[in-house]
Structure 1
Amino acid sequence: MKKSIYKSMLVLALTTILLTSFLITGVMYRAFYLRMQQEIRNEAIFISSAYNLIGQEFFSSIADQESSSRITWVASDGTVLFDNMADAEKMENHLNRPEIADALKNGFGEAVHLSKTLGTQTFYWAVRLNDGTVLRVSATTNSVFKSVLGFFPYVALITLMVILLTMIIANLLTKKIFLPLNNLNLEDPLSNDVYDELSPLLIRMAKQNDQIKSQFKKLKEQKEEFNAITENIREGIIVLNNKGLILFINKSAADIFNVSTQDIINKHILTLDRSITLQKAIETAMGGHLFEDIFAIGENSFNLLASPVKDEVVVKGVILFILDVTEKQSAEKMRREFAANVSHELKTPLTSILGYAELMKSGMVKPEDISEFSDRIYNEARHLIDLIEDVIRISRLDEKNVQLPFEEIDLLELAKETVGRLSSLAQQKRIKLSVGGDNAIIFGVRQILEEMIYNLCDNAIKYNYENGKVDVNVKTFSDQVVLTVADNGFGIPREHQSRVFERFYRIDKSHSRETGGTGLGLSIVKHSAEFHNAKIRLMSKPGKGTTITVIFSREQ
């Protein structure tokens, strides 16, 4: 804008100077033109008056005198009688000259003759004398073009000087004009005291500033709300443009792909992962269709949903929703395995019961063996009921569907009571049971805690050598209560330690069936601990024994 104003001022000044020069030249020429006509007219009148008084002797008196004007005396028939600058006898007839013709007819006549070759113009004035002859006076001067051309060097010099001066003044004026504009306080337009012409603009700017601040505040609030939502949800969210470049990625998605939310912006989505599933998702969404599938990153599985963002029919971008379904799939796998295991575990005792019953029904059992067969049927049915009850317990613990009250419980006293119920089983295997430690009050469900301690001690007895020992200990700390059940039995091989808490998992299936276990004991222990927000630690060495520790938080 500054350059435009500066150029406009120069162009205006230059145009003004040139136009003024030509106008002045025209005015001067016009004045000169009129003055020349007047002088010729006056001179012609003066000479005609002298001729009328003196006669033709007047021409004899001026024949040898130098004059700037040309004086010609013409007879009424057009014959040149006298000319002070040429031989009258050699001159052509002037009857057809317009000024001569007008003078003979009207008493006077005038004409101007322009010579393009010489660049001059001649003024003629003719007057009819008393004797009927005509007196013509003429004067020659430069034409207007030649006059202007003569003035041009001076005009050009003056114009150049004025242009230089104009450039300096224009530069200073431009700076002076823009200095207040450059110093405008755009943050508070109404505080500026500048040109009155800018007042409407400044008022409008102030209103727009208020609108912008209000809109910016709303945008900031919306952005904060959006960030608060997207950064605190488990689902990964990625927004792409129509070229596949990442416009937005939330923290969950960045954690999934192990990248920084700032470093990955404006990079292509395939820089995150080049899996076939992700490429197919992008291609499908860019084509305007919804895509959903499962893809894996490392050992984790994710549900990928690619949704196109359309403007009528044109796809403007893609939104990716990524949900970690590793736990869900693991749970689904565990449920399938659990269903299969339950079916298998139920089938075994039922098959035995059915077999014994068929033998008894067909009369193939001796009367003295009926008691033994009934005892076997009873034991299998008892085992079946125990299995069903354990499955129900685990299902309730899984769903947190326990309709039992929480209360303050002394864990040491509860351990003593529970161990007392197992004393007969321990005596059968000559296992030494001991309970010790600190009295510790925790908040929990008595029945669930009792089942947890019972299963831990029951396993420690069943999977132990004869003459072994089982030690139950309760220890209190400032923020924790620790329950420990340790034995010196068979122990658990390292490769099985991570799976012993799974449902129906058995290290030695033949031995487990001999002991009458359902395969759900340690799984119930795990779910009981999780129900009370406790942690489980297992340490074991084959042939040396196993120690299982349950850590309760006093806060919980």
Structure 2
Amino acid sequence: MKKIQFNKNSIVRRYIFLMGVFIGAFLLLAGILLYSFYELNEEYTSKNSQLEDKERLVQRMEEAFIKAFMDVRGYFAYNTESLKKKALEQDPVIMDYMNQLSAMEESYKDQAFLEQVEDFRKYYFIETLPVTLEEYENGNIEAVRATANGGATKKIEAIMADIDEYNDAINDQIDANFIELKKIQSYVQIAFVVFVLVFLIVLLRITRLMFSEIAKPLAGFAAAANEIAYGRDAVIEVDKDRNDELGVLSVAFNRMIEGIQENEQNLLAQNEELVAQQDELHAQQLELQEALEFVKNNEQKLSSRNELINKLANSLDKQEVLESAVLNMCPIIGAEKGIIAFIDEPSYASYGISPGGIKQFRGNLLFSGVIDRLQVERKPFAMKRQCAEDEKGYHSEYLFSYDLYIPIFLSGKKLIAIMAFTRYDSPFDGRLMEEYEALAKNVGIAMDKINLYQKSEEARRLNQDILDTIQEGVQLVSGDGEILLVNKKFCELFGCPEKLHDMDGCSWDEWTALLEGTIEEAGDFIDFLKSEVASQEKYPANERQFTYRNKAGKVFKVYCEGLFDGNTKLGTIFVHRNITKEFEVDRIKSEFVSTVSHELRTPLASILGFTELILTRELKPERQKKYLSTIHNEAGRLTALINDFLDIQRMESGKQGYEKIQVEMLPVIKKVIELQKVQSDRHELTLKFLGGRDVVIGDGGKLEQALTNLVHNAIKYSPEGGKVSVIVFEKDGMVRMEIQDEGLGIPPEAIDKLFEKFYRVDNSDRRSIGGTGLGLAIVKEIIHDHGGEISVKSQFGKGSTFTISLPVSDSQTDFG
């Protein structure tokens, strides 16, 4: 780009020169005004600062005098030496303030004020105050008062007035200076405004001169440019002698006009050539749009084809595959509507067909001959037909539609479904039939895969159902410790998620953590599982086992066996069998043998011992009678024990017989209490009847046996004596009998097992009491066989309450 050179007469150079002179003069005069304004401010600031310093010194001096006066008065009032000392210390302070004020002395008023202060200071601190203090210290209070009344007080008031007057004079001088400064500032500001206005007028004049020199030629240039824009001739009137920018511009503009006129014909010719090229480009654009539309249609078909293939390859849902097939086949083959339907089952999917049309197609499918033709030809075929009335819409003339039928074979052999598509604009292309057939084969392959999946799922569900019927918990674990399969019983045992498949794929850490939460001393069991999962050896199932107890108290035995394919271990099968009942049976057998041996041995030993004494020794009649009585009692005890064993055996076998009649419970209870009173003189046995009916349907002897066992237990487990109460009342159609004692009570953990056979609370306080553990079990069986319930409440160490509830006989009248 060519660099523009300005000559000495250029408009820019002249304008810059004038503006430079104007700005320089403006800055110079503005600087002079601002400097004068600054000097004025500094002068008045200095004066006021000195006056303020004077005022501050006078105020401090006044405060020192006041403090001295007040401290002296305080000394006279309270006789405090510190106040006297503080008052005398103000004299040098006042002297210092006077020296500072003397250094700032400017007028005769300042000098007169200092002389007044000095006279008063000498009078007060040198002449008067020492004498007054001495008079006061000598106890001459009247002399002090005379000094105060004799003129000292008036002089103090006079000097304070002088100080205030001097302060007021200083304040007046400060205010006068401020007013004078404001007045001078106003004059300076007015002068500055006038100065600015004058310079603005000068600037406006300079600008007007420059624009008048430039604007007129520029208006001529604008008019000439407008004429040229409309194709007319134009003349630029500019002084030819001008050698500034406008003169140069006029020459260049005239040359441009000549160039435009010379090139106008060339531009017209080029324009005609461009119009011809535009027509050609428009035709090419139409061809490209048609090609683009074709490419878009092909892209849509490819997208539908890819979606169809993807769905066929990845989905195992039959209905989803059918819907994808019909939805994607329609754009692929250019059909307006279509349907795919199975021949032998109700599955179908459609696109663009009404429910009535679907029903009609499925109803006529077997009778239309389409199936026969497809089974024979085994390939797609198309046909032309006249449109039905519901397909013509608002058209009244004859219209034709084109139908395409495509067979779907299962495993390439059996015809299982038909695809039917319809379009109205043109026939189906026969050259694409092989492509349609290939797509149908893909659908058939997907159906094969779905059928195979369904069969495998049915087999898997059957296997799972078979496993779920097994009453042992079964789990299959891989070599990595991952769960491959569990049954329902396993989930019940260990609190797995509700759905079994939620357990599939659980890692070693996940499912062993589940076991740790349910098993007591789970460490050894998990070590056993880990060793079996890692083992590659083959063992029979009954050789590898482990017994453990869960936190609910149930006992399990685990059998495990490796699952092998040849010599390759696929996993390990663990079978968790609940052996709680067997364990309890073994425990009961052991307890039974122990109890029977103990309970039988004691009376038998007594019988044998006393019998041997009677046979081998000569005894006095009374001792012989005593020994025979003991033998009789022990034989009765032995008989009762055997009867308990027989009763429990009959009850368990269901051979226990009852002679049920209407029984009044109050007489039965009274009899039981009377019999038990004979056996114990340390207990207070009472009966309390709260009203209602007391007649039940039952076997009186068995009910008496049950009540006897409960009352006898209440006495037996109250070794220290105490009160045993039987409370009878009716509630909700039931006769309720509560047997209360104040004995040892029952531990909370023993309540649930209290009515089990041979169960006895393991406690040192109870070991000496004895018993078989059958009494409460017999009571429970008797009460349940009478349609009643028995429950217990106990507070350990404070006693127990057993409650029997029996249905009231409806024929009994009210005794209340």
TM-score, structure 1 as length reference = 0.55
Shift in Å, 1:525: 2.7
1:348 partner letter: T
Shift of 1:448: 5.3
Distance 1:551 1:277, change over 3 A: farther
| Structural mapping, 1:32-47, within 5 Å | none
Corresponding residue for 1:415?
A: 665
Matched residue, 1:191: 419
Residue 471 of structure 1: aligned partner? 726
In 1, distance between residues paired with 2:807 and 2:545? 42
Distance, in Å, in 2 between the alignment partners of 1:311 and 1:233 is: 24
Q: Does residue 504 of structure 2 align to residue 265 of structure 1?
A: yes
Indicate the SS of the match to 1:431.
strand
- Counterpart of 2:630 (choices 368, 376, 382) is 376
Give the conservation status (yes or no) of the 8 Å contact 1:535–1:550. Answer: yes
2:653 is paired with a residue whose SS is coil
Match of 2:547 in 1: 294
Q: Partners in 1 of 2:466 and 2:730 — Cα distance?
A: 44
Provide the rounded CA distance (Å) in 1 between the counterparts of 2:463 and 2:689.
56
* Greater helix fraction, Structure 1 or Structure 2: 2
Query: CA contact under 8 A between 1:426 and 1:432: conserved in structure 2?
Result: no
Corresponding position: 1:403 with 2:665 = no
1:297-446 equivalent positions in 2, closer than 5 A: 297-298=550-551, 299-397=553-651, 400-404=652-656, 413=663, 415-428=665-678, 429=681, 431-435=685-689, 438-439=692-693
Is 1:236 aligned to residue 487 of structure 2? no
* C-alpha spacing 1:482/1:545, structure 2 compared with 1 (3 Å): farther
Code of the aligned partner of 1:422: V
Higher relative contact order, structure no. (Cα contacts within 8 Å, ≥ 6 residues apart): 1
Match for 1:277 among 524, 528, 532? 528
Q: In structure 2, how many angstroms separate the alpha carbons of the residues matched to 1:446 and 1:202? A: 88
Shift of 1:285: 7.2
Letter in 2 for 1:402: G
RMSD value over aligned CA atoms?
A: 4.4
Partner of 2:739: 486
Distance of 1:490 and 1:307 partners within structure 2:
54
The count of corresponding residues between Structure 1 and Structure 2 is 379
Tell me the SS of whatever aligns to 1:302: strand
Partner of 1:505: 760
Shift of residue 336 of structure 1?
1.0
Q: Which structure has the highest strand share of the two?
A: 1
Please report how far the alpha carbon of residue 359 of structure 1 lies from its aligned counterpart in structure 2 after TM superposition. Answer: 1.6
| Paired letter, 2:775 | G
Q: What per-residue deviation string (whole Å, max 9, x for no partner) do you get for residues 380-433 of structure 1?
A: 111111111112223444xx31224689876xx453353143143244346223
Equivalent of 1:537, from 764, 789, 792? 792
Which structure 2 segments of 5+ residues have no match?
1-290, 309-324, 330-339, 342-407, 409-417, 422-427, 513-522, 809-816
Deviations, residues 338-380 of structure 1 (Å, cap 9, x unaligned):
2112111111111111111222222353454322222211211
Following the alignment from structure 1 to structure 2, what is the Cα–Cα distance between the partners of residues 221 and 395? 49
Q: What aligned pairs does 1:73-222 form with structure 2 within 5 A after superposition?
A: 175=299, 178=302, 181-182=305-306, 184-185=325-326, 190-193=418-421, 195-198=432-435, 201=438, 218-222=455-459
Secondary structure of the equivalent of 1:267? Answer: coil
- Alpha-carbon distance between aligned partners in 1 of 2:299 and 2:772, rounded to the nearest angstrom: 97
Q: What percentage of residue pairs aligned between the two structures are identical? A: 22
Secondary structure of residue in 2 paired with 1:265: coil
* Deviation of the 1:322 alpha carbon: 1.1
1:247 corresponds in structure 2 to 484
Distance 1:441 1:283, change over 3 A: farther
**8 A contact 1:404–1:445 mirrored in 2:** no
Deviations 1:488-519 (A, max 9, x none): 44342647954755627376558746xxx655
- Residue 601 of structure 2 aligns to which amino acid in structure 1? K
User: d(CA) in 2 for partners of 1:427 and 1:331?
Assistant: 38
Matching of residues 9-24 of structure 1 within 5 Å: none
Length-normalised TM-score, structure 2: 0.39
Cα distance change, pair 431–236 in 1 and its aligned pair in 2 (3 A)? same
Deviation at 1:551, TM superposition (A): 5.8
Aligned residue for 1:243, secondary structure, equals: coil
| CA pair 509-292 structure 1, distance change in 2 beyond 3 A | closer
Give me the whole-angstrom Cα distance separating, in 2, the residues matched to 1:244 and 1:497: 40
Q: State how far apart, in whole Å, the 2-side matches of 1:204 and 1:240 are.
A: 40
Equivalent position to 1:546, from 791, 800, 804: 800
